Amino acid sequence: MVDGFYAGVVIDRSSSALDRVFHYEVPDEFKDRVKLGMRVLVPFGQSMVQGYIISLDEATDIPEHKLKAIKKLMDPYPLISEKFIPLIMWVKKEYHCPLIEAIHCFVPPGIRVNIKEKKQKVAYLSPEYAEKAETAGKLSANMKAILQALEQEDGLPVKELLINTGASQSSINSLVSKGLITVETEETYRNPWQYEIDATQPPVYNDEQNKAISLICSMMSKGGGTVLLHGVTGSGKTEVYMKTSAEALAMDKQVIVLVPEISLTPQTVGRFKSRFGDRVAVLHSRLSIGERYDEWRRIYNNKVDIVVGARSAIFAPLNRLGLVIIDESHEDSYKSEKRPRYHAREIAQMRCRLENAVLVLGSATPSLEDYHKARQGEYHLVEMKHRVDKQILPEVKIIDMRQELAKGNRNIFSLSLYSALKKTLESQEQAILLMNRRGYAQFVSCRSCGEAIKCDKCDITLTYHKRGNKLVCHYCGLEREYPKVCPNCKSSYIKHFGLGTQRVEEELLKLFPSVRLLRMDLDTTSRKGAHHDIIEAFGSGRYDILIGTQMVAKGLDFPNVTLVGVIAADTALSLPDYRSSEKTFQLITQVAGRAGRGSKPGLVLVQTYQPDHYSIRLASKHDYKEFYNREIEVRRQFIYPPYSHIIRVLISAADEKGLINYANDMLEWTRGYINRDPVLRKGLVDIGAYPAPIERINNKYRWHIIIKIDTSEETISGYHRLAETLTERFRSEDFSTALDFNPLSLL
């Protein structure tokens, strides 16, 4: 033991062997400046590496001759505020990731590629300007122009001044030497929001809105809790978010607003900007790294009160958090698919608890899990059942595609959709067509009876595998031959499906050669700003029909859209996923909300081979509650979430044989562990090891172990014990292991 000042440092290398806290001595020269959360340079092995200080201690176990000293403090201030350290520790424990990966969530984007702060020169009238102007003598016309500009607006960038007045740098210099102006070097922030925005005023709130607002505000003054705001599309939820944000600001608190994917919800961001101006920062992945870094610094430097952003904005370094809003809280994009595999709602809940803030989950179609919690009294439930403008929700008609086939129509458009499109084009209105092709999975279904082929044990659609021409269950591993006839009706019209947006575009052009089409999917929106351009082009009326994937279902508001068509509602329904009914219900409800937003009524046509499926039928009636009642029964019966938790341990490696052995070893070990742990043995629902549905990615083979457990608190803490031991035990350079609690996908 040696006395002194020791810093616990986490090395900035993603290696499981380095996943611990190393003690370093703090040299005297740093002792008065060192702070928790600082980035430091330290000797490690033969080299110098970066790391983060997460503890400062009086003592260390390291013998003196082995102890090394911090070489350098990398920044004048801590990159991570001290109060986030407990949250970082929680992230590590909860998601079983290396500490450094938890830390990376909190540090500014771009810091690891050494992004530079931007500086600029700004001119001000000097404090003695009034006196000096009397005695300054004769000034050139350019100098006078500069002074005039500064008299109108004090504090202008020199660059801008020179361009606007036509003066040269020498005029600036002589004004400085005469003591009339001063020039300061200041940080500038790249502005990611280049679109013009008009300021807006809040409306007069209706009763439903007032109820929601006063509940959220009273919870804020009490300092915590979670609200589920269930409001139909157009019920005025965004106005509730803005009003409660304004109230938070009035209490001297700050706000984080999460949106699923900023480029998909530009209108929401714009509305916050127009209400709160420069006090809003925007954070999302489509910004350049420099823009993100600058927005982060604006937040860190206390220049903003509201952060609007995608998933990772939940880590924004605000100091006085009072309110977190998660808009469209049912969306999958809130879950990270990379380590740490967190869900933004879970982080938000923990952060709100630590900082006494209120969490609001807003959705027209809440996730089953959230609605279940609200029913159980874990969340406060607030409902907004009516559209603001008393507009009725659009009429939704289900079109039975089996009958189209019987009528001899093999086209991807039903006759009703065809004639509705024709009418829309003739009356110069607009239409949106949804073709939800998602993921890699293809399923096999019968075109006569509509049945998709399912696993007997899991009630999950089987997935077609080209390799071996077979059908596989992604949950239990069951394999089946490709059937020659439908097991349900014996028809031989049985086929695997893989229909995409491009095909819809081609077919549409065959029917309406002069139609002006716009397509919005991953292929057409990869360029930065492409999404915004497509929305603007469609909104301007230069196009008749917008075809797209689920991107078109979200948040768009076009008054001239009177027709929405869903080409194949079954695509989502047949995904190998216990949430496929829920996803289908959400998608149809969301896309239906795009029709009839203006003065003309809207029509929604949903094409399906399974017109009687409850998710389609109830979505067409806008009946969330009945859908919830039906779906929660299915979940109870098959023990799916919220009645269980699903844990996936994904293992991948280049060597297939080795991987299979490794997976089986892990399965055996895990079974043994569970058997020896009475809590887990009792809480276990199911366990097995299977090849992952996508068997190889980037030449790495993939297997997974799927564990289902019950939802009691003890079982969950049992799981954390298991996960910790498992990640320790199965550390390997050759086999990578990823743990996912309630994964979005088992592909």
489 binds Zn ion (CB under 5 A): yes
Candidates 50, 233, 501, 571: give the one binding ligand ADP (CB under 6 A): 233
Spatial separation of the C-alpha atoms in residues 380 and 385, rounded to whole Å? 16
Give burial (CB, 10 Å; 0-12/13-18/19+) of 293: buried
Candidates 94, 239, 295, 505: give the one binding ligand ADP (CB under 6 A): 239
Helix (H, G, I), strand (E, B) or coil at 563: strand
Decide whether 276 or 701 has the Cβ nearer to ligand ADP.
Answer: 276
Q: Which residue has the tokens 């919220």?
A: 642
Count of residues that bind Zn ion according to CB under 5 A: 15
620 touches which of Zn ion, ligand ADP, none (CB within 5 to 8 A by kind)? none
Residue 136 backbone phi and psi in degrees, to 5: -75, -15
234 touches which of Zn ion, ligand ADP, none (CB within 5 to 8 A by kind)? ligand ADP
Q: Mind giving me the DSSP string for 145-185? A: HHHHHHHHSS-EEHHHHHHHH---HHHHHHHHHTTSEEEEE
Rounded to a whole number of angstroms, the minimum distance from the CB of residue 233 to ligand ADP is 5
Nearest in space to 545 (alpha carbons), one of 510, 520, 570? 520
Decide whether 155 or 559 has the Cβ nearer to ligand ADP.
Answer: 559
CB 722 within 8 A of CB 674: yes
Decide whether 274 or 285 has the Cβ nearer to ligand ADP.
Answer: 274
Give burial (CB, 10 Å; 0-12/13-18/19+) of 641: middle
453 binds Zn ion (CB under 5 A): no
Decide whether 223 or 487 has the Cβ nearer to Zn ion.
Answer: 487
Nearest in space to 240 (alpha carbons), one of 220, 215, 270? 215
Rounded to a whole number of angstroms, the minimum distance from the CB of residue 503 to ligand ADP is 31
Decide whether 578 or 585 has the Cβ nearer to Zn ion.
Answer: 578
Decide whether 451 or 631 has the Cβ nearer to Zn ion.
Answer: 451
Nearest in space to 494 (alpha carbons), one of 452, 530, 525? 452
Helix (H, G, I), strand (E, B) or coil at 460: coil
Distances (CA, A) of 493 to 115, 450, 451, 490: 59, 10, 11, 9
570 binds ligand ADP (CB under 6 A): no
235 binds ligand ADP (CB under 6 A): yes
Residues 455-474 binding Zn ion (CB under 5 A) are 455, 457-458, 473
37 binds ligand ADP (CB under 6 A): no
Decide whether 208 or 577 has the Cβ nearer to ligand ADP.
Answer: 208
Candidates 236, 317, 602, 718: give the one binding ligand ADP (CB under 6 A): 236
233 touches which of ligand ADP, Zn ion, none (CB within 5 to 8 A by kind)? ligand ADP
476 binds Zn ion (CB under 5 A): yes
H or E segment at 268?
helix 266-276
What angle in degrees, to the nearest 10, is found between the helix axes of 141-152 and 158-165?
120
Spatial separation of the C-alpha atoms in residues 576 and 584, rounded to whole Å? 13
For the beta sheet containing 47-60, the strands, ordered from the edge strand earlier in sequence to the opposite edge, are 21-25, 2-11, 47-60, 39-44, 72-73
- From 136-144, 180-188, 198-206, 480-488, span contacting ligand ADP (CB under 6 A): 198-206
478 touches which of Zn ion, ligand ADP, none (CB within 5 to 8 A by kind)? Zn ion
Q: Six-digit token pair at 447?
A: 């075109």
Candidates 103, 227, 368, 388: give the one binding ligand ADP (CB under 6 A): 388
Rounded to a whole number of angstroms, the minimum distance from the CB of residue 397 to ligand ADP is 23
Rounded to a whole number of angstroms, the minimum distance from the CB of residue 212 to ligand ADP is 11
CA atoms within 13 A on the CB side of 383: 8
Rounded to a whole number of angstroms, the minimum distance from the CB of residue 386 to ligand ADP is 10
Spatial separation of the C-alpha atoms in residues 398 and 405, rounded to whole Å? 15
491 binds Zn ion (CB under 5 A): yes
388 touches which of Zn ion, ligand ADP, none (CB within 5 to 8 A by kind)? ligand ADP
Decide whether 359 or 679 has the Cβ nearer to ligand ADP.
Answer: 359
Nearest in space to 474 (alpha carbons), one of 704, 710, 658? 704
- From 164-172, 203-211, 216-224, 469-477, span contacting ligand ADP (CB under 6 A): 203-211
Decide whether 360 or 453 has the Cβ nearer to Zn ion.
Answer: 453
- In the complex, which residues of this chain contact Zn ion (CB under 5 A)? 446, 448-449, 451, 455, 457-458, 473, 475-476, 478, 486, 488-489, 491
- In the complex, which residues of this chain contact ligand ADP (CB under 6 A)? 203-206, 209, 231, 233-239, 388
